[in-house]
Chains A and B, each alone.
Chain A
């Protein structure tokens, strides 16, 4: 592939992925309102378009045209930079996520992924660890005690659960022997006894998946671990002072993070784009992307389901759950996997 073609393909892929991701973010919000609505015996959005499907567009316009307030007591440079940092880091990690096998167009082999790094998983962990700054700095620069408490809670929570999250992934890494997400997915092809898919969750990583799921809820500040924005005690936590598009950026960052976490769960534990293939060649090329999307949808639905079901933890419960239960469990899982692989 020549340099010109490479750049062209990369730009097109980045644009498509970004547009799909932002649309997915908008419709995850719609899905959440709709599903939680039905769980609480309400209808959710119904007025804008059929089934309220145009609601995200209306919300987007509203955010754009609302008055953008900057309170006088804030530390302005960081107050402006914080939502940008949150959104940029949330959108960056999608760059190494593979969506399917490669396709061939006009003799050029194009992998369905923006870029395949041999440290792909580490890059995602690195970008996620930088994502804390957006939240922490938003809380601090707002110069408001509720915001500060929210920011402090968020950073303490994310730093604590990152350890359990990282350790839960090491089991998968030991089994597949690579940091490249593409290699990890390819190692999960095939079946046990002809019918159980060879996904890592059926391959001894069930506890690893459980730890990952718990830690991921805490990392994305979702119920039952949404202490940083607990409205009954902290108004709205770190984004109390934000309005209009700046608030929307935090909102988009949260949902983009949810999608990234769901992508990672699919790739590492549920076989990525692996699934039954049938039909004509064009269908065979598109089915992996469909399976990948379907698995992500299941995770997003689970997120919303949990939100509609569970109450919020207390902060000391959250910390002791992370340090005294998840962390030892993750280490035990790691040791057990290492012994099993070495056997």
Chain B
């Protein structure tokens, strides 16, 4: 077993373990921290694939920026432990068989297509220069359209958050 495979399995185990822990934990802050572990382990998997830039961005954007906001909201709301419920019968009857079927289906597809050759490290674009070439040259229009989409989302969030009339009425 190569060192590469060992690392892949280790990061994969952290990833899956973190995801399971995310569901099992009853305190929201522990769940959020598990999600950070999942994101960081995913960054490790990207590194193993030779995608250094994507790995760094994964850490900066997901593990850093977005999850900080999650943690921030949990801290501000001071959300406590959730109460344990018995769970719905529908989930047991439909959910568990559904998950099992889905997993079997995915496993079947993976096994069936395992004959395809593995891609060598560095064979796909991963260097910052190549990604820049793709983003700002080959896919310039979709990239710019995405940025406008995000701008619209930001403006929408600002409009929803400000509500000047509503606040004024509350003061009265």
Interface residues of A (CB under 8 A from B): 78, 117-119, 122-123, 125-127, 129-130, 132-133, 136-137, 139-140, 148, 151-152, 155-156, 159, 162, 179
Residues of B within 8 A of A125 (CB): 56, 60
Chain B proximity of A224: nearest CB distance (Å):
23
Q: Are A179 and B128 in contact (CB under 8 A)?
A: yes
Q: How far is the CB of B58 from chain A (nearest CB, A)?
A: 9
Q: Are A152 and B75 within 8 A (Cβ)? A: yes
User: Assuming the A-B contacts A140-B29, A152-B76, A159-B65, are A133 and B53 also in contact, with contact meaning beta carbons closer than 8 angstroms in the complex?
Assistant: no
Chain B residues whose C-beta falls within 8 Å of the C-beta of A139 in the assembled complex: 75
B150 at the A interface (CB under 8 A): no
Q: Are B29 and A130 in contact (CB under 8 A)?
A: no
List residues of chain B with CB within 8 A of the CB of A132: 64, 68
Q: Are A136 and B56 in contact (CB under 8 A)?
A: no
Q: B41 in the interface, Cβ–Cβ < 8 Å?
A: no
Q: Can you pick out 13 interface pairs between chain A and chain B where the beta carbons lie within 8 Å of each other?
A: A78-B29, A119-B55, A122-B57, A123-B56, A125-B56, A126-B56, A126-B59, A129-B60, A129-B63, A140-B74, A151-B75, A152-B76, A156-B72
Q: Is B127 an interface residue (CB 8 A)?
A: yes
The 4 closest A-B CB pairs, nearest first, are A129-B64, A122-B56, A126-B59, A119-B52
Query: Do residues A119 and B60 form an inter-chain contact, with CB atoms below 8 A?
Result: no
The DSSP consensus for interface residues of chain B is helix
B127 touches A118 (CB 8 A): yes
17 extra interface residue pairs, beta carbon distance < 8 Å, beyond A119-B128, A136-B71: A78-B33, A119-B52, A119-B53, A119-B55, A119-B56, A122-B56, A122-B57, A125-B60, A126-B64, A129-B63, A129-B68, A130-B59, A132-B68, A136-B75, A140-B71, A148-B75, A159-B65
Q: Is B15 an interface residue (CB 8 A)?
A: no
Q: From known contacts A129-B59, A129-B60, infer whether A118 and B52 are also in contact, taking CB-CB under 8 Å.
A: yes
Nearest opposing residue in chain B for A158, CB measure: B68
Given contacts A118-B128, A133-B36, A140-B29, contact A126 B72 (CB under 8 A): no
Question: How many chain B residues touch the partner (CB < 8 A)?
Answer: 22
Q: Is the CB of B64 within 8 A of A130?
A: yes
Beta-carbon nearest neighbor of B60 in chain A: A126
A78-B29, A122-B53, A140-B29 known; A133+B68 contact, CB < 8 A: yes
Q: In the assembly, what is the distance between CA of A119 and CA of B57, in Å?
A: 10
How far, in angstroms, from A152 to B65 measured CA to CA in the complex?
A: 14
Tell me how far the C-beta of B52 lies from the nearest C-beta in chain A, rounded to whole angstroms.
5
Residue of chain B at shortest CB distance from A163: B65
Return chain A residues, CB-CB under 8 Å to B59.
126-127, 129-130
Contact with A along B87-131 (1 / 0, CB 8 A): 000000000000000000000000000000000000000011000
CB distance from A187 to the nearest CB of B (A): 15
- Chain A residues, Cβ within 8 Å of B36: 133
Q: Evaluate contact between A140 and B68: CB separation under 8 angstroms.
A: no
How far, in whole Å, are A123 and B43 apart by their CA atoms in the complex? Answer: 11
Residues of B within 8 A of A155 (CB): 68, 71-72, 75
| Cβ < 8 Å to A, chain B residues 20-57 | 29, 33, 36, 52-53, 55-57
Cβ A136 vs Cβ B68 within 8 A: yes
Indicate whether A136 sits within 8 Å of B52 (C-beta atoms), given known contacts A126-B64, A129-B64, A159-B65: no
Q: How far is the CA of A130 from the CA of B33 in the complex (A)?
A: 12
Contacts of A126 in B (CB 8 A): 56, 59-60, 63-64
Question: B68 — which chain A residues lie within 8 A by C-beta?
Answer: 129, 132-133, 136, 155, 159
**Distance between Cα atoms of A130 and B62 in the complex (Å):** 10
**Considering only CB atoms, which chain B residue lies closest to A143 in the complex?**
B78
Q: What is the minimal beta-carbon distance from B4 to any residue of chain A, in angstroms?
A: 14
Nearest residue (CB) in B for A123 is B56
- Give CA–CA (A155, B128) in the complex, Å: 29
Q: Is there contact, CB below 8 Å, between B64 and A152?
A: no
Q: A133 to chain B: closest CB distance in Å? A: 7
Max count, chain B CB within 10 A of own CB: residue among A119, A125, A151, A156: A119
Residues in chain A near residue B53, CB distance under 8 A: 119, 122
Question: Smallest distance from the beta carbon of A160 to chain B beta carbons, Å?
Answer: 11
Q: Which residues on the B side are within 8 Å of A129 (C-beta)?
A: 59-60, 63-65, 68
Interface-central residue, B29, B65, B68, by most chain A CB under 10 Å: B68
